[in-house]
Amino acid sequence: METHSHRSLMAHHFIRALILGGFAFYIIRLVRLDTLTLYIAPRMTIYVKLAAMGLYLVAAVQLYQAFRAWQGQKDAAACDCEHPPSESFWRSAAVYTLFAVPLLVGFITPDTTIGSAMAGKKGMNLSAASAVKPTNGVVPAPAASPSKAPPVEPSAEPNGGESSAGKPADNLDALFPSDQFSEAYANYGKRIYRQPAIEVTEKSFMEILTTLDMFLDNFVGKKLTISGFVYRDETIAKDRFVLGRFAVQCCTADALPYGIMVSSGNLNANAYPNDTWLRITGTLEKTDYNGNQIMGLKLEKAEKIKPASDPYVYPDLDFGLEDTQGGGGG
């Protein structure tokens, strides 16, 4: 009877070691294949790697306990607080299956990016500024459109074009009102307002889209270049599509799709099926979608590209720091 108990205990420790070691090995496999960021944000990878090391350590302890049980030694308990495994085979099998099945699924399924199918389920967000919650509950709007506001002339002065009278800066403050929630976006809007063409970069993808959407009146007619995947559903007209990206805060479980509505005009929108990656250039405009006025892009040029090595975009933790440190020029 004692021998049977030792063998049962050895089996439990060995199975636990396999499962824990399996999870650790799976993480290391993702790191070696450079696919870990398909599941978590880059800033979280260090913690996951440390977790893998911890799993390996605990797995080694479980193997040691299995070896002791095989030799017929009982676990030394410093107190009367140990939790012996269940004697029911089916109960134990059910518990271990809860861990083994997800691990097996991870190994046998390919590492792929989420795309238009998931965007359709989560709902494509066409208003990046909706994520910003000012104190008054309303996203600040520009005081006047560019056609009604006094023009802001470019300047070679290092302070971003502020004249001795301060009038250009006053005009920009009127065009880009802000509160504590939108100040960074307003400052960035002032910096790019003079630029005839704007590029949505990987590093500040969400922040740039939010700025343009929040102060759209100021940027209508500007050239914009942006990259992403094509998304369309039955609610989108045939001459339109959405170019979007998934924004990830922590991991792909919280990934949300954001995009911009693209009007193809004379170009054939059907030439770009769902999940086609494009780099496009067009003119910013206001457009209607499902009865709402949103930011749009009138397509002028489209180039098929390979999917980005990291298909997701993340919060730019440095966004706005340049302005707060005195770099708020043009």
Q: What are 34-45's pLDDT values in tens digits? A: 888 888 888 889
Does one domain contain both 248 and 120?
yes
pLDDT of residue 142: 39
Residues 42 and 146 in one domain: no
CA distance 122 to 116: 10
Both 76 and 134 in one domain: the answer is: no
Indicate which CATH number applies to the domain containing 211: 2.40.50.140
Contact call for residues 276 and 303 (beta carbons, < 8 A)? no
Listed residues 58, 90, 108: the one ending a domain: 108
pLDDT at 57: 95
The helix (H) or strand (E) run that includes residue 60 is helix 45-70
Residues 84 and 135 in one domain: no
Q: What angle do CA 19, 21, 27 make, to 5 degrees?
A: 105
Query: Between 144 and 90, where is the model more confident?
Result: 90
Q: Tell me which range, 9-13, 129-133, 296-300, is most confidently predicted by mean pLDDT.
A: 296-300
Residues 155 and 104 in one domain: no
Our CA angle for 21, 22, 28, nearest 5°, is 90
Q: What is the mean predicted confidence (pLDDT) over 164-168? A: 40
Considering the domain architecture, whether residues 103 and 199 belong to the same structural domain is answered as: no
State mean pLDDT over 303-320. 87
Q: Is the pLDDT of residue 226 over 90?
A: yes
Residue 8 within a domain: yes
In a domain, 261, yes or no: yes
pLDDT at 157: 38
DSSP for 31-48, written as a single string: HHTT-GGGTB-GGGHHHH
Domain contains 180: yes
Check whether residue 162 and residue 63 sit in a common domain. Answer: no
pLDDT at position 73 is: 63
Number of CB atoms found within 10 A of residue 32's CB: 9
What is the C-alpha separation between 69 and 38, in angstroms, rounded?
40
The whole-chain average pLDDT of the chain stands at: 80
Average confidence (pLDDT) over 224-236: 93
Looking at the fold, whether 76 and 185 belong to one and the same domain comes out as: no
Q: How confident is the model at residue 207 (pLDDT cuts 50, 70, 90)?
A: very high
What confidence category does residue 168 fall into, taking pLDDT thresholds of 50, 70 and 90? low
Question: Is pLDDT at 131 greater than 90 in this prediction?
Answer: no
CB 222 within 8 A of CB 211: no
Q: Which two tokens stand for residue 192?
A: 């790019």
Q: Based on the structure, what is the number of domains in the chain?
A: 2
Could you tell me whether strands 197-199 and 256-263 are parallel, antiparallel, or unpaired per DSSP bridges?
Answer: unpaired
Share of the chain above pLDDT 70, in %: 78
Tell me the sheet residues that pair with 246: 257, 312
Does residue 69 sit in the same domain as residue 204?
Answer: no
Residue where one domain finishes, among candidates 83, 108, 133 = 108
Is residue 48 one of the residues assigned to a domain? Answer: yes
Last residue of a domain, one of 56, 74, 108: 108
What is the value of pTM for the model shown?
Answer: 0.71
Q: Is residue 267 part of a domain?
A: yes
Residue type, 281: T
For residue 2, pLDDT over 90 is answered with no
Segments forming the whole domain that contains residue 136: 116-324
What pLDDT, on the 0 to 100 scale, is given for residue 82?
Answer: 57
pLDDT at site 277: 95
Between CA 28 and CA 226 the distance in angstroms is 34
Question: What confidence score (pLDDT) does residue 252 get?
Answer: 82
pLDDT band at 121 (very low <50, low <70, confident <90, very high): confident
- Does the residue 211 lie in any domain? yes
Give the mean model confidence (pLDDT) for residues 208-231. 95
Query: Has residue 195 been placed in a domain?
Result: yes
pLDDT at 302 over 90: yes
Q: What is the pLDDT of residues 25-72, one digit of tens each?
A: 999 999 998 888 888 888 889 999 999 999 999 999 999 988 888 876
Q: Is the pLDDT of residue 311 over 80?
A: yes
**What is the DSSP-derived secondary structure letter of residue 277?**
E
Half-sphere exposure for 223 (CA within 13 Å, toward CB): 9
Domain match, 28 and 126 both: no
Answer whether residue 330 is part of any domain: no
Q: Are residues 167 and 245 in the same domain?
A: yes
pLDDT confidence of residue 281? 96
Q: Are residues 274 and 149 in the same domain?
A: yes
